[in-house]
């Protein structure tokens, strides 16, 4: 039972990372039907920016703002920088290509991904970088037989707060409604007065910013970051997006959480080496029986 709870917490932690990245993925995906391969690299870039802030700016920040201020600064600076990059990428690599259809955009996205990945490599070097240790006091908490660290709790709280805020933005605000409407039907939404360009601007700020913050959290959690790590997380986020149902933002969120939990249970109860196989097999099974994802609407094609 303790193992179960521990794995559940681990799974939710990783799942919340996936969910945050998947949200950014799904927003772009739902609206442009673009498989945004660069999204995983926004996340990696954010992780590196956060790393730089924490390593080189730590003396300045922590003396003036304390530990939490330092962390917040790292996340916010990473988010702002990467949001800026996100918009640049959209302007340079995606916007000129939308009219040509979605397949050329996939190649362009791959190109953007290669570009960002290699920019990271050129700036920070091809080797692993390590986040500073003991950012968060290394406190172990024991409840019965259950072990959790302070770090885990902090990260869980942070990521779930972010997810909560995002959920609120998407479900309750006018802008969220605009995004959802555009994802459902771009033309009708624009006839109803939704400014498409604003929506694009918004999703390409919010998505990369979220990715960047996740990047900082992943850096804190695993401590080791590499310039290629965006690929794996991007792939998982895409999986979560599809598992939840295309264009369904809460679906992507839950898809990410489910994916993380499945992965951890797969690792604990089956085998760590086969955990991704387990996850993909579940995904394939889900799609065989629910061809439009877990939360996707079952739509009969209009003929």
Partner 1 sequence: MIEETKRIGMERFFGSYQSMFFITLTMFIIYPFVVSDYYIDVAFFFGIYALLGLSLNIVLGEVGLFDLGHAGFYAIGAYTTAILNTKFGVPILILLPLSAAAAALFAYLVCSPIIHLRGDYLCIVTIGMGEIVRIALINNPFNLTGGPNGVYGIDFPSFGGPFVIDSSIEYYFLIWIVVALSIYGLIRLQNSHIGRAWNYIREDEVAAGASGIDVRHYKLLAFVLGAALAGVAGNIYASKLMCVSPESFTFWESCLMFCIVLIGGMGSIPGVLIGAAFISLFPEIFRPFAMYRMLIFGTVMILMMMFRPGGAWPRKRGGIGFASIFAKKDVTDD
Eight-class DSSP state of 273:
G
| 68/274 with CB nearer partner 1 | 274
Shortest gap between Cβ of 15 and partner 1 (angstroms)? 18
Sequence-distant (≥ 6) Cβ neighbours of residue 3 within 8 angstroms: 268
| 118/173 with CB nearer partner 1 | 118
| 49/242 with CB nearer partner 1 | 242
User: Of 36, 293, 19, which Cα lies nearest the Cα of 167?
Assistant: 19
Shortest gap between Cβ of 87 and partner 1 (angstroms)? 16
| 107/141 with CB nearer partner 1 | 107
Shortest gap between Cβ of 106 and partner 1 (angstroms)? 7
Shortest gap between Cβ of 122 and partner 1 (angstroms)? 6
| SS (HEC) of 67-111 | HHHHHHHHHHHHHHHHHHHHHHHHHHHHHHHHHHCHHHHHHHHHH
Sequence-distant (≥ 6) Cβ neighbours of residue 65 within 8 angstroms: 72, 73
CA distance 74 to 55: 10
Q: Which residues bind partner 1 (CB under 8 A)?
A: 33, 35, 37, 92-93, 96-97, 100-101, 103-108, 110-119, 121-122, 231, 235, 238-239, 242, 246, 273-274, 276-277, 280-281, 283-284, 287-288, 291-293, 301, 303
Q: Which residue has the tokens 């600076």?
A: 77
Phi, psi of 173 (to 5 degrees): -90, 165
| 26/205 with CB nearer partner 1 | 26
Shortest gap between Cβ of 186 and partner 1 (angstroms)? 17
């Amino acid at each position: 039972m303790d193992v179960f709870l521990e794995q559940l917490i681990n799974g939710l932690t990783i799942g919340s990372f996936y969910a945050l990245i998947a949200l950014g993925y799904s927003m772009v995906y739902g609206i442009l039907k673009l498989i945004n391969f660069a999204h995983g690299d926004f996340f990696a870039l954010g992780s590196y920016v956060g790393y730089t802030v924490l390593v080189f700016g730590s003396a300045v920040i922590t003396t003036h703002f304390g530990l939490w201020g330092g962390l917040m600064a790292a996340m916010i600076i990473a988010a702002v920088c990467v949001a800026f990059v996100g918009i640049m990428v959209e302007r340079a690599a995606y916007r000129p290509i939308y009219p040509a259809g979605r397949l050329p955009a996939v190649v362009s996205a791959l190109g953007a991904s290669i570009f960002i990945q290699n920019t990271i490599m050129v700036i920070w070097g091809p080797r692993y970088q390590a986040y500073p240790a003991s950012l968060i006091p290394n406190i172990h908490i024991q409840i019965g037989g259950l072990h959790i660290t302070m770090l885990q709790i902090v990260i869980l709280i942070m990521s779930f707060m972010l997810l909560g805020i995002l959920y609120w933005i998407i479900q309750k605000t006018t802008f969220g409604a605009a995004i959802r409407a555009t994802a459902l039907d771009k033309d009708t939404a624009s006839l109803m007065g939704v400014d498409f360009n604003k929506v694009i601007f918004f999703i390409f700020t919010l998505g990369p910013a979220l990715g960047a913050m996740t990047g900082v959290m992943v850096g804190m959690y695993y401590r080791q970051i590499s310039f290629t790590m965006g690929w794996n997380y991007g792939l998982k986020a895409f999986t979560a997006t599809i598992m939840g149902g295309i264009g369904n933002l809460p679906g992507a969120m839950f898809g990410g959480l489910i994916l993380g939990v499945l992965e951890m249970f797969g690792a604990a109860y089956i085998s760590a080496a086969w955990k991704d196989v387990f996850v993909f097999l579940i995904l394939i099974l889900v799609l065989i029986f629910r061809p439009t994802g877990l939360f996707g609407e079952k739509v009969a094609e209009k003929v």
